[in-house]
Structure 1
Amino acid sequence: MNNDNDPIAMEAQSEPSKNAQSLQTLASGPLSSSLSSLASSSRTLPSNQDFHFFNNFDDFRLPIDRIAKTSDSLLQFIGSSSKTWDPNNAIHFPNNIDSITDDEAYRWLVDMNDDILEQFDVSVDEFQEKEEKTGRLFGSDPDNNGFKLVQGKKKKKGDSGLMSDSVCESLSTKEGGSSNSYSGAKVKKGALTMVTTGKAKVPFHVPTIRKPQEEYNILVNNSNQPFEHVWLQRSEDGLRFVHPLEKLSVMDFVDKDIANLEPIRPPSIESTPFKLVEEVKDLKELAAKLRNVDEFAVDLEHNQYRSFQGLTCLMQISTRTEDFIVDTLKLRIHIGPYLREVFKDPMKKKVMHGSDKDILWLQRDFGIYLCNLFDTGQASRVLKLERNSLEHLLQHYCGVTANKEYQNADWRVRPLPDEMLRYAREDTHYLLYIYDLMRIKLLSMPKEPIHFDAPLVEVYKRSSDVCMQLYEKELLMENSYLHIYGLQGAGFNAEQLAIVAALCEWRDIIARAEDESTGYVLPNKVLLEIGIWRTCSS
């Protein structure tokens, strides 16, 4: 076949071979061994209280400070490097490193890794398409194997691309609704905007929203006392709460007679009946439907910034035939009475992904305790998949590219724009199908020597362990201030530590009384700066 005049072939031939060489260097060079050495070394670092103790000594603190600064610089470089990203799509590492939470930093790292791997997948796909169209194996050419890194993501049919304008318009056109809508407090178009990363984004905090606690009279107990699980019985000695799962066996939940299981592919989102549950009558109807199915998928959207303990903002539920989104702010006091028993029912399978926190939020806000859970995140670990994120499972099993723009959005926004509703639906719409495929794979997977149980049983055991967690309220203790991020590197003397401890106690009292997060009342970075300034001014 003659490719001399084929523009596709010419483009592939024109790519500099250094791209492929760079990939080869990355895969087989010193990076892998360096990462392994780094992981081994990190395990020798002291943790928690030991770390704070050793950090009082210059021989320990100074090298740690240098490593921390180098790490911050490296992360900043990786997130903004033109060698990794198109300048308009950079995933900048947060500038407020001293005040971000571990979860926020972890989500940044997950997003970055996912995007890099996605770039790689897209590059391989496009390279293979060129080979198929030209009939030439460019990779076999030792002088130029045609590998090209593609900036950005492959567009799927139906992708909405950058959606900040549409989100703003959706919110602004609905602002003039009923006067009792707390999101009607003029959400400015500038509040939902393109940030420095170049990606459309609903901010994690829209300050003009009226607090749901005030709008719906949501009452919470923020006292500095342990959380009371009023819907659970206590042990005979009265010292602990007894989870319903303690009276059940994991083997009761393991699927039986599924050797000939046929996965049920879900219909498209566009053709699937959908109900936004905002009224008690609709919640009652949902509960009745759930009582008539054998399994359903569940996910939650949560807000941590504008409440002391956090607020569950949405509950997504999908059956084999319908999708539901429950406004858990508006219906908060009704969720438990209508859904508690169906979630507890050991005869009904609940499918969730990465449910570690969702389980605790259900207990805290609604007194709901799960029985019979299949966590696809745990299943992905047992199956040793390349990645364990829901985004990866959607792509791997369903060919769906998840939209991550709303992952950290302010889910208190009302009314919810259509784009955010679709994002929320996608979290559960495909989950039962993924559950089918995973069970088939687990059933055919040989048992590993390190596990006593078959892979499918192992997944159910891990899922049950997640369910057995019990929510605990954060309590202020005498040494709570020692765990403030950034304190260990500040080198404070005794007077400064006393000021920090007093500020920490004051912040905790205000946050509990006003039902705000401690980070909203007084960020850690500001708290530490006050400690430094106060002693200097004295």
Structure 2
Amino acid sequence: MDFNHYLSELSTSIQSIPSSDDFRFNYNIPEFRRLIDELTRKSQSMLNKIGSSDHIWGPGSSFPADIDDAYEWIVNANDDVLELVNEVVDEFHKVLKEQDMEEGEDGFFKIKKGKNGIGYFGDDGNETKPKVSFHVHTLRKPQYHYNLAVDNSNQPFEHVWLEKSEDGERFIHPLEKLSVLDFVDKDIENLVPLKPPPMECTPFKLVEEVNGLKELAAKLSSVNEFAVDLEHNQYRSFQGLTCLMQISTRTEDFIVDTLKLRDHVGTHLREVFKDPTKKKVLHGADRDIVWLQRDFGIYVCNMFDTGQASRVLKMERYSLQHLLQHFCGVTANKEYQNADWRARPLPDVMIKYGREDTHYLLYIYDLMRIKLFELSKESESPDDPLLDVYKRSYNVCMQLYEKELLTDNSYLNLKGLRRAGFNGQQLAVVSGLYEWRDVLARAEDESTGYILPNKVILEIAKHMPVTASNLRRLIAERSRLPYVERNHDIVVNIVRHSMQNAEAFEEAALRLKEEQAAFEEAALRLKEEQAASVSNVASVKDGTEAPQSHSSNSKDECAANGSIGIENGTIASTLKENGANTGACEATRLGNSVSEENGFPDKKGKKDIKVEQIGSSVNLPCHSILGNNAKCTITVDLDSDSDDMM
């Protein structure tokens, strides 16, 4: 019996029941009472079956026994169904637009033509391009679909593929045993750039099976260099998921489905990425390096980062899009940069985008090495630009992935918190909500932003709703928040109990306000000194001698800190005038002594403040939720064949 049949049978049964006084009169008749009891049993059974449909509602969504909770459950379930219908309809209309179709008066779908032929049309009738969604609601979560093993415990990430130091205190990256000089190219003068053939003329393989992965590993073992890029999704998992790996040699392009082959990628590609005799070319690899470690236990040796090279060459822009245009005359379609790469099967347009990211990269690598070599001959500086790029790339590879850990003070790093100016009561609410969403995000393997966005935490803490109806009104204008909608009572409970614990947060609230005031003062001083510097330059141009600065801070002291980010508005300035150095250094020291966003020490420095660690289950103190020392335990189980609520 399927889901639709349950609903149909239940609806039909209810229509035949008398209501009000007629019901009470008939219920005194034994035969009627027996039929009603039987109908109640069947209805309860059907509702339980509907509620246990994990592939529709998500895990742990059984029909509640309490009548009041049951009513709210049905209302929410009905809203979810309608929401899903709307999403399917929206997706349908999107497909129609992409296929240049429209519904005719006869009900059939026909090709739609514009003045210049077939095109896409917006609501206003003007031709437009279809938007690429970063989140497709109807996609089944790959964690469930591919039965992915995920460890979201509140414990440091274990780099099991690395050796440990003799004292056991740290992991040893294989690069530590190698020198940067081992990787620098020796004979650039005779280098001839090898331009790749057009993509349509280049052999391509989408690797979705283990045998294909083995063949790829063998091919990479036979070449001296290859280009790599990754596509990632952060929005629907706690730590993030690598969805694709693109690899190009001089003659072939490959795309590896790293969701389907997640458990096999490291086994077959780990050694070739580690091999110091093979050059790996990536662009802006800071995140790719740690994603490879986290998901596949892959550690990269001998990398050339074209993003770092673009900085050393002081190019106009550092993006891969700019490099493709500048060196290859290719205009990349960056609409798909933030697409939902969990989609399967992959549309052709997304495959094309993925291939572009690596297809030309080895050729760009050739051209950049030549430019770096020419720069070294032109420059009087003793520093070798090519060696500088390899040093930078080496440092990027040396990063080690660290899992986000929850501590007692983690909530202080919430973006926008310092500027909010909260009192102790409001800060207590922030702490409680922050802890709740962290527990739930780990258990459900969702991003904290999907569970409860930062802005919504601040909005709830600002208004402190103490009833479910007030909470609903507060978030009514927000995008859909399924976990909040299903847990109105829990969120309100957190607000109530947190408010009672305000005294414990008064000191932190005062410190936040002091840090914000100091930061604003430093920013204001910096602006004033910048204005004075501009005035001094104008005076020099007019022939008037500018006054000399007597700052005790040298230019060198602040050379690395010319750009300073202020939460209330970015002040980006390369400080070339002595008069601006004092404020710049003071603001920089302030920014470095506290968290960039909230004026508190960085999260990494807080690892000594431990919340009870989450092992095979999420087990955290819930003082802010329950108002005592009780524990709340949520088991992480991604092995069940259940879908998310979306």
CA contact (8 A) 2:97 2:121 kept: no
Structure 1: which amino acid aligns with 2:314?
A: K
Conserved? CA contact 2:98–2:130, under 8 Å: no
Partner of 1:417: 347
Which structure 2 residues correspond to residues 123-522 of structure 1 after superposition, within 5 A? 199-446=129-376, 453-522=383-452
Helix, strand or coil for the counterpart of 1:434?
Answer: helix
Shift of 1:351: 0.2
What is the CA distance between 1:518 and its match in structure 2?
0.2
Once the two structures are TM-superposed, the CA of residue 167 in structure 1 deviates from its matched residue by 9.1
Give how far 1:529 is off: 2.0
Q: For 2:440 and 2:186, how far apart are their aligned partners in 1?
A: 53
* Distance in 1 separating the partners of 2:231 and 2:427: 37
Alpha-carbon distance, 1:444 to partner: 1.3
How far residue 200 of structure 1 moved from its aligned partner, in angstroms, is 2.8
CA distance 1:205–1:167, shift in 2 (3 Å): farther
Q: CA deviation at 1:255?
A: 0.8
1:379-436 deviation line (CA, Å, top 9, x unaligned)? 1111111111101110110011111110110000010110010000000000000000
CA distance 1:426–1:310, change in 2 (3 Å): same
Q: List gaps (5 residues or longer) in structure 2.
A: 1-93, 101-119, 468-495, 497-646
Question: How far, CA to CA, are the matches of 1:202 and 1:282 in structure 2?
Answer: 30
Q: Distance in 2 between matches of 1:380 and 1:341?
A: 29
Judging changes above 3 Å, is the alpha-carbon distance between structure 1 residues 241 and 248 closer, same or farther for their aligned structure 2 residues? same
Output the CA distance in 2 between the equivalents of 1:209 and 1:431.
31
CA distance in 1, matches of 2:396, 2:277: 18
| Structure number with bigger Rg | 2
Cα distance in structure 1, aligned partners of 2:408 and 2:152: 18
Amino acid aligned to 1:392: H
Give the CA deviation at 1:224.
0.8
Equivalent pair of 2:284/2:306 in contact (CA under 8 Å) = yes
Classify the secondary structure of the residue corresponding to 2:383: coil
For 2:123 and 2:389, the matched residues in 1 are separated by 40
- Check conservation: 1:340, 1:367, Cα contact below 8 A: yes
Structure 2 CA distance, aligned partners of 1:459 and 1:448?
A: 17
CA distance in 2, matches of 1:349, 1:436: 12
CA distance in 1, matches of 2:380, 2:134: 42
Cα distance between partner residues in 1 of 2:455 and 2:190: 58
Change (3 A) 1:341 1:201: same
- Which residue pairs with 2:548 in the alignment? none
**What's the offset of the Cα at 1:536?**
7.2
- Conservation of the 8 A alpha-carbon contact between 1:447 and 1:454: no
**Amino-acid identity (%):** 72
Q: Which amino acid aligns with 2:355?
A: R
Q: Distance in 1 between matches of 2:346 and 2:311?
A: 34
Describe the SS at the equivalent of 1:445. Answer: helix
Deviation at 1:199, TM superposition (A): 4.2
CA distance in 1, matches of 2:306, 2:289: 14
Is the contact made by 2:414 and 2:454 (CA closer than 8 Å) also made in structure 1?
yes
The structure-2 alpha-carbon separation of the partners of 1:226 and 1:448, relative to structure 1 and needing over 3 Å to count, comes to farther
Q: 2:243·2:257 contact (CA, 8 Å) conserved in 1? A: yes
What's the C-alpha RMSD, in Å, of the aligned pairs?
2.3
Counterpart Cα distance in 1 of 2:338 and 2:121: 14
| Matched-pair contact (CA < 8 Å) for 2:376–2:384 | yes
C-alpha distance 168-368 of structure 1, shift in aligned 2 (>3 A): farther
- Check conservation: 1:167, 1:417, Cα contact below 8 A: no
Q: Secondary structure at the match of 1:217?
A: coil
TM-score (norm 1): 0.63
Query: Aligned residue for 1:6?
Result: none
Task: Report the CA distance between 1:452 and its aligned residue.
Answer: 5.1
CA distance 1:326–1:504, change in 2 (3 Å)? same
